[in-house]
Structure 1
Amino acid sequence: MNNHYILLPANPLFIAFSLVVAFLLNLMPWGQMAGVPDFVALALVFWNIHQPRKVGISVAFLMGLLMDVNEATLLGENALAYTLLSYFAIMIHRRVLWFPLRTQALHVLPLLLLAQAVQLVIQLLVTGKSPDWFYFSESVVSALLWPVVSLLLLAPQRRAVDRDENRPI
């Protein structure tokens, strides 16, 4: 059953809060382990698809610079990957919203793989080291988390402005 809700406008403070939480989750020690999703990339894709006018490419670039400083990588590596990720997410945002959550995850997966591939190419050019065979598992886990992230981040918008016992919305 596909429920379509009339959503309230997204609160800019909640968007900023979710991006800060995603950044803090990336700061956790498990962030360097294989298979742990890039929460910032996942949050950026979500907001680029659902609120492309509020979270655009400039926010992605700034979040990428923050991640570059955090990870002590080449300055601009994450910024470039997040910028491309956001650009393509904004390009397909209208199409993705027509599908159920599982199909949306299949649309998000290539975007996340592209961002990781950009990071991989930059790392190969700069260091010459190739990663482990499970390098792209991060994108697969992120795509599997897409339905959960969607439900969590859309929850505040599903509330009724005026609660009423007789109104279903």
Structure 2
Amino acid sequence: MAYPDSENATVLLIAAIILSFVAASSLNVYPLNPSMATLRPMVMIMVLIFWLLFQPRYVGIFTAFTIGIIADLLMDTHLGQQAFSAVVVALVIKITSIYVRQLNTLSAWLIASLGLIVFQISLWVLQMFIQNVFIAQSALSLLMSIISWPLVLLVLRKFVH
């Protein structure tokens, strides 16, 4: 039989995961002027990577696909592009986390950076094949995401353990 507090802790953790995705989605679509919008970090994917790293029991490939579909709908991209890229990121995170012995802040930042780079490259490739478009300004968003990853780690780490 499970401990009574463990069920309550699981419910609180799942609530924190859901609320973090809701907050990230609102930050993703918050209106900014065009010059600032190019610097907007990929908050939804950053939160997804955090939960993939620190709670792989509750957040996996299906969650990545769902978050990608939601991001496609919110960002008005072709349906499935961000979902596919999010699933690729989830697979990369799952594979790299196998080889990491201890997940400290530096290794989490390196794995998150790898995941963000994989996400952006897969989006660029999909956009080139499907739309024949290359949006180079997305590199600024990628750079801002990599730089601001420790903020996501700082905010969400208190919900782990």
TM range (shorter): 0.7 to 0.9
Structure 2 counterpart of 1:125, from 119, 125, 129: 129
**Which one is further off, 103-112 or 13-22?**
103-112
| CA displacement at 1:92 relative to structure 2 | 2.3
Give the structure 2 partner of residue 73 of structure 1.
77
Give the structure 2 partner of residue 19 of structure 1.
21
Distance 2:116 2:62 in 1: 18
Write out per-residue CA displacement over residues 27-61 of structure 1, whole angstroms, 9 at most, x where no aligned residue.
11139721211111000000000001101111111
Length, aligned pairs only:
150
Distance 1:82 1:73 in 2: 14
1:66-105 maps to which residues of 2 (within 5 A)? 66-93=70-97, 95-96=99-100, 98-105=102-109
Identity %: 25
Given that 2:53 and 2:108 are in contact with CA atoms closer than 8 Å, whether structure 1 keeps it comes out as no
TM-score (ref. length: structure 1): 0.78
Q: Which amino acid aligns with 1:145?
A: S
Structure 1 counterpart of 2:153, from 150, 155, 165: 150
Q: Residues 96, 40 of structure 1: CA spacing in aligned structure 2 closer, same or farther, 3 A cutoff?
A: farther
TM-score (ref. length: structure 2): 0.81
Larger Rg: 1
**Greater fraction of residues in helix:** 2
| CA displacement at 1:140 relative to structure 2 | 2.3
Kindly report structure 1 stretches of 4+ aligned residues shifted beyond 3 Å: 94-97
Q: Which runs of 5+ in 2 are unaligned?
A: 1-8
